[in-house]
Structure 1
Amino acid sequence: MEKIIEELDINQYLPTALDWATNIVLALVILFVGIWIAGRAYKAVVSIANRYDQLDDTLFRFFGSLVRYTILAFVGIAVLNRFGVQTASIIALLGAAGLAVGLALQGTLTNLAAGVMLLIFRPYKVNDFVDVAGNFGKVTAIDMFTTILQTFDNQQIIIPNGKIWGEQIVNHSHHAIRGVDMHFGIAYGESIDEARKVIEQVLADHPHIVKEPAPFVEVETLNNSSVDFLVRPFCEGQYYFNVLYSIPEQIKKALDAAGIEIPFPHRKVFVVNEK
């Protein structure tokens, strides 16, 4: 009789042990398959950016990570379900924690959202010269949260993307050919036609000024003491600053050589003798 009771006791625990073993095996299978699927999904999303040059790698790596961790979250819930854990409360707790973190990181999430928009619409790219958030410089890096500029005096400026998106963005490198606006004045007694010829010759001799479109040289304003020209030569974007800072000196020397006066303010003093 005692032998029969012992056999019954052993048979009572056998199904429970078998169930636990089955759940452990299934949980491991779900875990390994889920990790494999998450890895494949990440690579699939990233490969989309690799197939198209106009798509940004950083953005698709972010999307790939988002997909991977979303899949792993569902895998974790499925594994817990195999052991009878009630996951509804865990999901609610994670949701509440996510909401609290989101409220605490509003500024960071704003920069993240702006970074996603910048990487999707690409108003500028690395090596472009831009004017953003009151700063001008060369773009050296764009990530999910910040844009990094290098200024001409070799300083690094890190700008949160939230301060860029939604504001005016001036991309000086968008077009291959750029116009360079400059102003020059001559005295009223000088010949406008002769001054124009001198200026046009300087522009024609400059190695970085293109022939098409042709430079624009016209009288813009009749000022109090001078006739002012608007001079707009065109050049490739990489030579913009070379043209901007070399042409004024060359035109000044050319006008001096041609005997054309460049006026400057004069002040007349009248002395009244009261004796």
Structure 2
Amino acid sequence: LASLFAQFQSSFFLLADEEEVSSPSVWDSIEGHWQELLQQAGMSLLIFASFWVVGKIVQKVLTKVGTSQHIDQELASFIGRTAKIAVLILGLITALSHLGIDVSAMVAGLGLTGFALGFALKDVISNVLAGVLILIYKPFQKDDCIKIKSYEGKVVSTDLRYTVLLSDGLTVYVPNSLLFTDAITVTCDAVTAEPEVESTE
């Protein structure tokens, strides 16, 4: 009986040792998980960096093409920046999805956030969109004399938010949304306008 018990005990410990050797430890499992996570994070950063480079190239190309097509410099820069932001957002979504993150909820959240921001900044957005359309269609040029409602003066510049008028020595900033929705009277253009004669008195 003693010999049988000794054989059973030795066989039990031998099986236990084999199981311990064959099964990975907890630390090995954690280490493997972290290595996999770091590899995914590195690949995600590489993906986002690639999209960032593509966005910069797209921005430069669109800005250069717009300038070569005689599009207003500020409008061409705005189009380039908008395209770059769109590429970066696409790159961020792609990188996060590579990490295994469910981006559908994030996209839905961005949609709701964009709707809220659009509602809060509707006046700013309307001015920007009106500025883009004014720069595209060009209903008036620089140095034209225009009249819009109670504002009248010579056009100094037009950006994405305001059209700057010079009226009786005063600088007037007219919102572009007002210029786009109301009738504009061009009282004199830059070609036919008579030059101002300075008084010698």
TM-score higher than 0.5: yes
Gaps of 5+ in 2: 1-16
Query: Relative to structure 1, is the Cα distance of residues 62 and 175 closer, same or farther in structure 2, using a 3 angstrom cutoff?
Result: closer
What does the per-residue CA deviation read over 1:93-133, in whole Å, with 9 as the maximum and x for residues that have no partner?
A: 11001111111222222212211110110112222222223
What does the per-residue CA deviation read over 1:197-240, in whole Å, with 9 as the maximum and x for residues that have no partner?
A: xxxxxxxxxxxxxxxxxxxxxxxxxxxxxxxxxxxxxxxx234x
Q: Is the 8 A contact 2:143 2:189 kept in 1?
A: no
Q: Is the 8 A contact 1:41 1:68 kept in 2?
A: yes
Partner Cα separation in structure 2 for residue 175 and residue 39 of structure 1: 37
Once the two structures are TM-superposed, the CA of residue 82 in structure 1 deviates from its matched residue by 2.1
Partner Cα separation in structure 2 for residue 64 and residue 23 of structure 1: 31
Question: Which position in structure 2 is the counterpart of 1:33?
Answer: 50
Question: Which position in structure 1 is the counterpart of 2:73?
Answer: 57
Tell me which amino acid in the other structure corresponds to 2:54: I
Identity %, equivalent residues: 21
Q: Please tell me the root mean square deviation across aligned C-alpha atoms, in Å.
A: 2.3
| Largest Rg, 1 or 2 | 1
Question: Which position in structure 2 is the counterpart of 1:113?
Answer: 129
Question: Which position in structure 2 is the counterpart of 1:23?
Answer: 40
RCO higher in 1 or 2 (8 Å CA, sep ≥ 6)?
2
- What SS class does the counterpart of residue 238 from structure 1 fall into? coil
Gaps of 5+ in 1: 178-236, 243-275
- What SS class does the counterpart of residue 152 from structure 2 fall into? strand
Listed as ranges, the matches of 1:117-136 within 5 Å are: 117-136=133-152
Which of residues 153, 156, 162 is equivalent to 2:177? 162
Once the two structures are TM-superposed, the CA of residue 87 in structure 1 deviates from its matched residue by 1.0
Report the TM-score when normalising by structure 1. 0.59
Question: Which position in structure 1 is the counterpart of 2:82?
Answer: 66
Partner Cα separation in structure 1 for residue 131 and residue 57 of structure 2: 25
Query: Relative to structure 1, is the Cα distance of residues 6 and 14 closer, same or farther in structure 2, using a 3 angstrom cutoff?
Result: farther
Question: Which position in structure 2 is the counterpart of 1:77?
Answer: 93
- What SS class does the counterpart of residue 110 from structure 1 fall into? helix
Q: Which runs of 4+ in 1 moved over 4 A?
A: none
Once the two structures are TM-superposed, the CA of residue 159 in structure 1 deviates from its matched residue by 0.6
Once the two structures are TM-superposed, the CA of residue 35 in structure 1 deviates from its matched residue by 0.7
- What SS class does the counterpart of residue 146 from structure 2 fall into? strand
Which of residues 147, 151, 166 is equivalent to 1:150? 166
- What SS class does the counterpart of residue 42 from structure 2 fall into? helix
| Richer in helix (by share) | 2
The alignment covers a number of residue pairs equal to 180
Partner Cα separation in structure 1 for residue 166 and residue 180 of structure 2: 19
Report the TM-score when normalising by structure 2. 0.79
Question: Which position in structure 2 is the counterpart of 1:238?
Answer: 194
Partner Cα separation in structure 2 for residue 144 and residue 238 of structure 1: 29
Tell me which amino acid in the other structure corresponds to 1:21: L
Q: Is the 8 A contact 1:133 1:163 kept in 2?
A: no
Partner Cα separation in structure 2 for residue 141 and residue 172 of structure 1: 17
